[in-house]
Amino acid sequence: MAMKVVALAGNPNVGKTTVFNSLTGMRQHVGNWPGVTVEKKEGVFEYKGEKFLVVDLPGTYSLTAHSIDELVARNFLLNGNPDVVVNVVDATSLLRNLLLTMEIFEMGLKNVVIALNKIDLAEKKGIRIDPLKMSKALGVPVVAMSAKEGIGIEELKDKIYEMAQGRIKTNPVVPRYDPEVEREIEHITNSLKGTKLERRYPLRWLAIKLLQRDDEVMKLVLRHIGEERLREIMTHIGEAEARYGRAMDLIIASQKYEFIDRLTHEFMSYVGKEKESLTDQLDRILIHPVYGFIALAMVFYAVFKFIFALGLPLQEWLDGLFASFGEWLAPQIANETLRGLLVDGIIGGVGSVLSFFPLVFLLFFALSILEDVGYMARVAALMEGIMRKFGLPGKSVIPLVLGLGCNVPAVMATRTLEDERERLVTMLVSPFIPCSARLSVISFLAGAFFGSNHSIVALSVYLIAILVALLSAWLVGRFVVKGEESPFVIELPEYLIPSWKTVVTHSWERSKEFVKKAGTIILLGAIAIWYLSNYPVEIGSGKSYAEKLGYLFEPYMRLMGLDWKAAVSLLFGIIAKENVISTYGVIYGTTEAIKNAMTPLQAYVLAVVTTLYIPCIATIGAIRAESNWKWALFTTAYMIAVASIVGILIWHAGVALGLA
């Protein structure tokens, strides 16, 4: 006697294979379906002397011809003549799972057993399902089981056996739709009546598939009723869709879902929720519209504390190391010019920048941890609402968060914004976000002038920058008509303990750019600064190029309490913001000398102005590449204006408060 065939159908990941394995004791072999490349698993089990061939079908959400998997599953159910269909459903996602069950029922299959799997999990989540009532509501047997724990397997075997013997009568429930949809179904079934299709398929099922514009069914029907009548049907459907303003497949899925929703009330209930997961508990606070921001501030404060506590001693040590190296080297070089160039220019300039490597590395280290833990996604989610309040698309949060590392990728990331005007606005504001280069300037000044308050001072500069960015977006956005918002959903991942190895590799990958830059662009900058400050006459004489250049801007700098040296360093900072430090390094030589030359208020103004005043050359280039010269120049001019205003305001506010 031929073996009875049992098909296992269900959504992906519901435990079909687990059920399959417990039924067959893993004696499965792998075969190929004729015509398709999808693998199926087959296995055999014996129960009460009867042998069954079990077929594990691909997991699918529906049985419309969306994918090969769906077709394979559907064709087997339609043409494979299974004696019993075991529909494995996940008890923790019953509504979604029953959508497929309804499709199976609509296909006219009667020999269906529902394997209500993962009841152990459902139990934990506080979902109570009464299998008897469920069986009554659905009209087919339901076996509650936990395939993983081996619960319910025997009962399932028994039900399969009984059903294959023809001893179980079923009456599968079939969903009903809106009158309008039902009218469409009737219209179609009437057109199909009398064709050969009627003997092979339930007409109601064909009608529903036509409503969903299922390619395969359309082809099938076409062969039987001809192009003209199919076209008439499809036009009719199109008219109904026009009345709904939606596609019929969505309407059908939606109404089916509502039908199931009502149905499950008869046998499913929730008793007290499962204890909230840690992620949910944390997210209650971390993405809360108020506490979330407090937490955000605390997290970033902690980040700065961490960076400074660990990084500053290292920075000072490195700085000292470069200084002693210079001192050691100087007497060895006879040529005065060469000595100046090497010791004051290169070691003084590049060294002062390089000494900040620990801080930059630690910044990336902290950012990597925040990313890998899953916190950055929360920051994005939190800020996203704020972005929109300031007239930026929610998506713009991504470039802005990216900007914390470097503004160039931030500008490039605006590509993902579809609306051109929103893109331009985001591009304009992203250079305000303090990148890692500016971190070195900020921490240099904060560390040198603010003692133990450095973290809070640095954080305040960041806050000012972000605030300026948002206000700018709002301001510029006023003159920019808002385009269509392109929606974007941030999936919040579970919090994870990051792998230290990836965090370290990641941070190194990103921070080594800083070292590379020090060896190239900063090096050239330092040489140039050294040259300008030593020719034609040494600095201090008032005749060096640097002084002349600085004096040109000094009246302007005075407005914000800064001098010609700031002017020169900011000029060089255009090439790369680190040059602000290296310029001071070249001009003053030691950190001590710098400390004596400025007040904390001046240092603070300089930190803020450095952060805001202009995009670096690379960023300007990126803006030009992503938009045009005009926009790049406008952004530059705009930033200079904003930095001047903010700088002047802070200076005068500080003077008024007696901080000068």
Ligand X SMILES: Nc1nc2c(ncn2[C@@H]2O[C@H](COP(=O)(O)OP(=O)(O)OP(=O)(O)O)[C@@H](O)[C@H]2O)c(=O)[nH]1
The binding site for another protein (CB under 8 A) comprises 61-62, 66, 92-93, 95-96, 99, 213, 215, 218-219, 222, 230-231, 234-235, 238, 241-242, 244-250, 253-255, 257-258, 261, 280, 283, 287, 371-372, 374, 376-377, 380-381, 384, 388, 394, 398, 401-402, 405, 409, 412-413, 415-416, 485-493
DSSP character at residue 453: G
Q: Which does 246 bind (CB under 5 to 8 A by kind): ligand X, another protein, Mg ion, none?
A: another protein
Q: Which does 287 bind (CB under 5 to 8 A by kind): ligand X, Mg ion, another protein, none?
A: another protein
Asked if 67 and 58 count as a contact pair (C-beta separation under 8 A), the reply is no
CA torsion, ordered 224, 225, 226, 230, to nearest 10 deg: -120
Angle at 29 (CA atoms; ends 26, 33), nearest 5 degrees:
135
What does each C-alpha distance from 117 to 13, 153, 155, 160 come to in angstroms?
Answer: 11, 10, 13, 16
Q: Which does 162 bind (CB under 5 to 8 A by kind): Mg ion, another protein, ligand X, none?
A: none
Report, in Å, the least distance between residue 62 CB and another protein. Answer: 6
Report, in Å, the least distance between residue 482 CB and another protein. Answer: 11
- Applying CB under 6 A, does 13 fall inside the site for ligand X? yes
Q: Which does 324 bind (CB under 5 to 8 A by kind): ligand X, another protein, Mg ion, none?
A: none
Report, in Å, the least distance between residue 10 CB and Mg ion. Answer: 9
CB-closest chain residue to Mg ion: 17
Q: Which is nearer to another protein, 228 or 336 (CB)?
A: 228
Neighbouring CB atoms inside 10 A of 498's CB total 16
Report, in Å, the least distance between residue 292 CB and another protein. Answer: 12
What does each C-alpha distance from 372 to 294, 369, 561, 597 come to in angstroms?
Answer: 21, 5, 42, 42
Q: Which is nearer to ligand X, 96 or 236 (CB)?
A: 96
Report, in Å, the least distance between residue 496 CB and ligand X. Answer: 18
CB-closest chain residue to ligand X: 59
The DSSP-derived string for 527-555 is HHHHHHHHSSS-TTSS-SHHHHHHHHHHH
- Applying CB under 6 A, does 18 fall inside the site for ligand X? yes
- Applying CB under 5 A, does 17 fall inside the site for Mg ion? yes
Report, in Å, the least distance between residue 268 CB and another protein. Answer: 12
Helices 629-656 and 617-626: angle between axes, nearest 10 degrees: 140
Report, in Å, the least distance between residue 146 CB and ligand X. Answer: 4
Asked if 433 and 400 count as a contact pair (C-beta separation under 8 A), the reply is yes
Report, in Å, the least distance between residue 388 CB and Mg ion. Answer: 41
Q: Which does 412 bind (CB under 5 to 8 A by kind): Mg ion, ligand X, another protein, none?
A: another protein
Distance CA 347, CA 236 (A): 80
Report, in Å, the least distance between residue 150 CB and ligand X. Answer: 9
Q: Which is nearer to Mg ion, 59 or 447 (CB)?
A: 59
Report, in Å, the least distance between residue 24 CB and Mg ion. Answer: 13
Q: What's the burial of 606, exposed, middle or buried (CB within 10 Å: 0-12/13-18/19+)?
A: buried
Q: Which does 121 bind (CB under 5 to 8 A by kind): Mg ion, another protein, ligand X, none?
A: ligand X
Q: Which is nearer to another protein, 148 or 229 (CB)?
A: 229
- Applying CB under 6 A, does 40 fall inside the site for ligand X? no
Phi then psi for 384, rounded to 5 degrees?
A: -55, -45
Of the listed pieces 11-19, 195-203, 365-373, 575-583, which binds ligand X according to CB under 6 A? 11-19
Q: Which does 455 bind (CB under 5 to 8 A by kind): another protein, Mg ion, ligand X, none?
A: none
Instruction: Please name the helix (run of DSSP H) or strand (run of DSSP E) that holds residue 86, with its range, or none.
Output: strand 84-90
Report, in Å, the least distance between residue 639 CB and another protein. Answer: 23
The tokens describing 59, both together, are 């997991």
Of the listed pieces 11-19, 169-177, 338-346, 389-397, which binds Mg ion according to CB under 5 A? 11-19
Q: Where are the beta strands (DSSP E) in 189-326?
A: 268-270
Q: Which does 258 bind (CB under 5 to 8 A by kind): Mg ion, another protein, ligand X, none?
A: another protein
Neighbouring CB atoms inside 10 A of 559's CB total 12
- Applying CB under 6 A, does 12 fall inside the site for ligand X? yes
Which SS3 state, helix, strand or coil, does residue 202 take?
coil
Asked if 506 and 364 count as a contact pair (C-beta separation under 8 A), the reply is yes
Report, in Å, the least distance between residue 109 CB and another protein. Answer: 20
Among 120, 274, 371, 626, binds ligand X (CB under 6 A): 120
Q: Which is nearer to ligand X, 83 or 90 (CB)?
A: 90
Of the listed pieces 15-23, 154-162, 178-186, 603-611, which binds ligand X according to CB under 6 A? 15-23
Distance CA 184, CA 248 (A): 10
Report, in Å, the least distance between residue 56 CB and Mg ion. Answer: 6
Q: Which does 118 bind (CB under 5 to 8 A by kind): another protein, ligand X, Mg ion, none?
A: ligand X
H-type alpha helices, 9-57: 16-24
Asked if 398 and 413 count as a contact pair (C-beta separation under 8 A), the reply is yes
- Applying CB under 6 A, does 426 fall inside the site for ligand X? no
Q: Which is nearer to ligand X, 117 or 189 (CB)?
A: 117
Phi then psi for 45, rounded to 5 degrees?
A: -140, 160
Phi then psi for 126, rounded to 5 degrees?
A: 80, 20
The tokens describing 136, both together, are 């009554």
Report, in Å, the least distance between residue 178 CB and ligand X. Answer: 32
Binding string, 132-171, against ligand X, x = CB under 6 A? --------------xxx-----------------------
Q: Which does 71 bind (CB under 5 to 8 A by kind): another protein, ligand X, Mg ion, none?
A: none
Report, in Å, the least distance between residue 343 CB and another protein. Answer: 39
- Applying CB under 5 A, does 18 fall inside the site for Mg ion? no
Which residue type does 105 have?
F
Phi then psi for 8, rounded to 5 degrees?
A: -100, 115
Maximum CA extent, the chain: 110
Distance CA 573, CA 564 (A): 14
Spatial CA neighbour of 450 closest among 601, 656, 306? 601
The DSSP-derived string for 128-141 is EE-HHHHHHHHTS-
Q: What's the burial of 444, exposed, middle or buried (CB within 10 Å: 0-12/13-18/19+)?
A: buried
Counting residues that bind ligand X (by CB under 6 A) gives 16
Q: Which is nearer to Mg ion, 73 or 143 (CB)?
A: 73
Which residue type does 151 have?
I
H-type alpha helices, 60-202: 68-79, 94-106, 119-124, 131-138, 153-164, 179-192, 197-200
- Residues 522-546: b if buried by 16+ CB within 10 A, e if exposed: bbebbbbbbbbbbeeeebeeeebbb
Neighbouring CB atoms inside 10 A of 576's CB total 21
Counting residues that bind Mg ion (by CB under 5 A) gives 2
Q: Which does 372 bind (CB under 5 to 8 A by kind): Mg ion, another protein, ligand X, none?
A: another protein
Q: Which does 215 bind (CB under 5 to 8 A by kind): another protein, Mg ion, ligand X, none?
A: another protein
Footprint of ligand X (CB under 6 A): 10, 12-18, 59, 117-118, 120-121, 146-148
Footprint of Mg ion (CB under 5 A): 16-17
